[in-house]
Chains A and B, each alone.
Chain A
């Protein structure tokens, strides 16, 4: 029995060491950067010259504290920190006055779900949704983040395809899907679509 236990433990140690030497734990990395960030680049739009995430913070009346926050949490991506500041100021109107009725970037209202806030931003060009990004999404814990990582790119693609808030939700991510749709609907309303 001692011999068998020795084999068992040898196997366990070999398994752990083997995997870890190939794929070390990423404990110190932030949640967002340890995974591929789902927010940007899902549907790069040829018509928008500036990416949506960059437009919003520069136009939103974000307080100076945003920068210090971002500095304090260097691991977090700028997008996330800045969008958090937006959440704090969500009572203010974040979307800029559209230049034309059918063109511009519109942030939807933040929709608070059971797992966290969801906020989307759409870029509209000539009445067409050309880009969509998600400024906030449930990421408070690994599970939420994991689900967000999976479903948000999918939802974004759906919007670009369907060109409305009339997208089907994803089972297993009901809350996030509904929050996404609600925020999207308000963004489209602002855009007058």
Chain B
């Protein structure tokens, strides 16, 4: 997809999101009555409904962001969508929490009851309130386990399963909105809009997260064909199957992999391709990050795999001119860059800057060295801490004399990306020639 077209689709997506927010607000505005402002408690209840509507809308957008809708993935990039999802969802949760507290307060005040008592009565007597309360607890649980400190101390797989329950949480809360929400009862258009909104999410998730990945996996019959240990904790896994070229995967993209063994089938891992796909083979290189990445070396050849993807727009197509390419990788972030090298035309000169904490962490080193001999690629290994090898305009120009002239690809931790982006800015490299993908979320 051309950059201009991507931009157009991205803009449209934001416009439609805004339009939906506008409709959501008018659901409440057009159904307001004098009674909604009759007394302070009525006003509290009215505000609570505002939070309910906007919070729910935000959560719907948050779910659409990770529904793998192809046009949006291609236009905006998977890593950004995930980042936005993470930014939006806490606010959705705050708003829904406010809704619960304020509606309790508003009703309790109007009836002279204690808020806890009122919440209990509402939960037990209103239609579909018990499921809604259960759904709310599921959302809270997902929120807590996604909080940075908690997230780091639990297994990825545990987090993932709890996160799956948020779909259930959102679904459970749906009926109480439609059946008790004053803006929906007796307002068929509002109701139709709201149902349509939720159905679009169900459709997107079922289509692009379940049906298409399953269909692809079945069609391509992917099987692990070789497992190679690259270094301490680093393994390259080769996958073969039918018509792999029809997956239209590119170097720099990644798949969510699910290895179908008894103890692993329920885990999904986002791993980048570490070589450009061939007609018959995909390769991904994995560093031990999660709990079970540790023992990928023991995965048996012949094991079936199921994939979701390819995802990501961190590909050579994004390049503007390719007079020169500068690829900057941090740690295992080198793997997608390694795959991109395969797809950059031989005529383009390439500088690779590879930063790693120590020599053992230099994944795929021998392969890179071989590439450097075969074609016009120069590799700069920066082994040591960030302070030893700072990344800025000066240092980059020292390693790469043609830096200001190049298309820049950077993949690694967010800190590295920020450094490179600001270096490019001060070197006067236009934004559309700087391509980056945070590797952080792959590890999470």
Contacts and interface: CB of A to CB of B under 8 A. Distances in A.
Interface of A: 3-5, 7-20, 23-31, 34-35, 114, 140-143, 145-147, 149-150, 171-172, 174-175
Q: How large is the interface on B (under 10, 10 to 19, 20 to 34, 35 or more residues)?
A: 35 or more
A146 B34 contact: no
Nearest to B110: A141
A60 to B, nearest CB: 26
Contact of A20 (B30, B36, B126, B181): B30
Nearest to A7: B14
Interface centre among B21, B33, B125, B179 (most CB of A within 10 A): B33
B10 interface: yes
A17 B21 CA distance: 12
Given A142-B35, A142-B36, A20 B26 contact: yes
A4 B14 contact: yes
Given A4-B10, A19-B22, A150-B185, A142 B179 contact: no
B30 A19 contact: yes
A11 B31 CA distance: 21
23 contacts: A7-B14, A7-B15, A10-B15, A11-B16, A11-B19, A11-B20, A15-B19, A15-B21, A15-B23, A15-B25, A16-B22, A16-B26, A16-B29, A19-B29, A20-B30, A25-B29, A26-B30, A27-B32, A27-B34, A29-B33, A141-B42, A145-B182, A175-B125
Interface in B117-155: 125-128
B185 A31 contact: no
A77 to B, nearest CB: 14
Contacts of B34: 27-31
B185 A146 contact: yes
B33 A12 contact: no
B25 A16 contact: yes
B179 A31 contact: no
B32 A15 contact: no
Q: Which 7 A-B pairs have the closest CB atoms?
A: A15-B22, A11-B18, A146-B185, A142-B182, A172-B127, A19-B26, A7-B14
Contacts of A141: 35, 42, 45, 110, 182
A23 B22 contact: no
Contacts of B23: 15, 19
B295 interface: no
Nearest to B180: A143
A69 B19 CA distance: 44
Contacts of B179: 172
A20 to B, nearest CB: 6
Nearest to A150: B185
A23 B32 CA distance: 12
A13 B22 contact: yes
Contacts, number: 116
A31 B30 contact: no
Nearest to B49: A142
Nearest to B184: A146
Interface in B1-57: 10-11, 14-23, 25-26, 29-36, 42, 45
A13 B17 CA distance: 11
B30 A24 contact: yes
Given A11-B17, A11-B22, A16-B26, A4 B33 contact: no
Given A12-B25, A15-B19, A25 B186 contact: no
A8 B14 contact: yes
B192 to A, nearest CB: 13
A19 B110 CA distance: 32
A88 to B, nearest CB: 20
Contact of B11 (A4, A14, A28): A4
Given A11-B18, A11-B19, A31-B34, 16 more contacts: A7-B14, A8-B15, A8-B17, A10-B15, A11-B15, A11-B22, A13-B22, A15-B22, A16-B29, A17-B22, A19-B23, A19-B29, A26-B30, A29-B34, A114-B125, A145-B182
A25 B32 contact: yes
Interface centre among B14, B17, B22, B128 (most CB of A within 10 A): B22
A14 B20 CA distance: 10
A141 B38 CA distance: 10
Nearest to A27: B32
Contacts of A13: 18, 22
Nearest to B126: A172
A30 B186 CA distance: 15
A50 B29 CA distance: 39
Given A15-B25, A16-B22, A23 B14 contact: no
A31 B18 contact: no
B21 A147 contact: no
A26 B36 CA distance: 12
Contacts of A16: 22, 25-26, 29
B27 to A, nearest CB: 9
B30 A25 contact: yes
Nearest to A143: B182
Nearest to A35: B186
Contact of B33 (A27, A171, A175): A27
A115 to B, nearest CB: 10
Interface in B98-116: 110
A27 B23 CA distance: 18
Contacts of A171: 127
